[in-house]
Amino acid sequence: MALLKVVFLFLVAAETIYGQSFRFSTCPKIKPQENFNVTQYLGTWYEIKKLPAMFERGKCVQAKYSLLQDGAVRVHNSELLKDGKINSIEGTAKVEDHAKPAILSVSFFKVVPDSPYIVLNTDYSSYALVYSCSDYFGLFHIDFAWILSRTRHLDSATVSLLQDKLTLIGVDVSRLSVTDQTGCGPMASA
């Protein structure tokens, strides 16, 4: 019981300090993109909106995906910090079940368990909607959501459509924050 109290206090602190997204329920049942083609998904995606995430602190957030020789996907996430420095991290994404290729398992650190990366919807050429959810102790879950674009801007009609899809799975879209994609010059080579 003491461990549960410690975990609860940690989550409350994370929610308060970092705006992390956790809920006292299990992860929702979701339907990933059908007939997902990871090769078409490769390339650069720019973050348009997201649920709060303590590991993102900057602006101009982008992700580059490229295929590795073993069939896994190299993930390179970067952002521009307030001091003008580029913060980046590299990881690996793998399709665990080839019958569900839109559900990937992402790892950035060897000692931390992989996280789900679920492509809910994409047209490959302009937008993508990504969701991640992990259950803890059958009591609560922590989730993340990202609206991505192939450019640093996405039209409001598409954003609205993608937010509607998040609402259908129980995500409180009023918690989504807009990612600043202005003044991103130094990010061109990141």
pTM score of the predicted model: 0.85
Cβ partners under 8 Å of residue 139, min gap 6: 4, 24
Is the model more confident about 69 or about 186?
A: 69
Q: What angle do CA 107, 146, 74 make, to 5 degrees?
A: 30
Q: Which amino acid does the sequence have at 49?
A: K
Strands (DSSP E) found in 123-179:
127-136, 140-149, 177-178
Confidence of residue 19 (pLDDT cuts 50, 70, 90): very low
Mean pLDDT for the chain overall = 85
- Give the HSE-up count for residue 157: Cα atoms under 13 Å, Cβ half-sphere: 1
Top-confidence residue, 22 or 178: 178
What span, in angstroms and rounded, lies between the C-alpha atoms of 38 and 104?
Answer: 10
- The pLDDT tens digits of the residues spanning 74-118 come to 999 999 999 989 999 999 999 989 899 999 999 887 766 678 899
What integer pLDDT is reported at residue 28 of this predicted model? 83
In this predicted structure, what is the pLDDT of residue 1? Answer: 45
Q: Is 50 exceeded by the pLDDT of residue 37?
A: yes
| Residue 51 neighbours by CB distance under 10 Å | 21
- pLDDT higher than threshold 60 for residue 25: yes
- Two structure tokens written together for 84: 């003008």
The pLDDT assigned to 88 comes to 93
Find all residues with CB under 8 Å of 36, minimum gap 6, and list them. 101, 102, 119, 122
For the segment(s) 2-180, the CATH number from 3.40.190.10, 2.102.10.10, 2.40.128.20, 3.30.230.10 is: 2.40.128.20
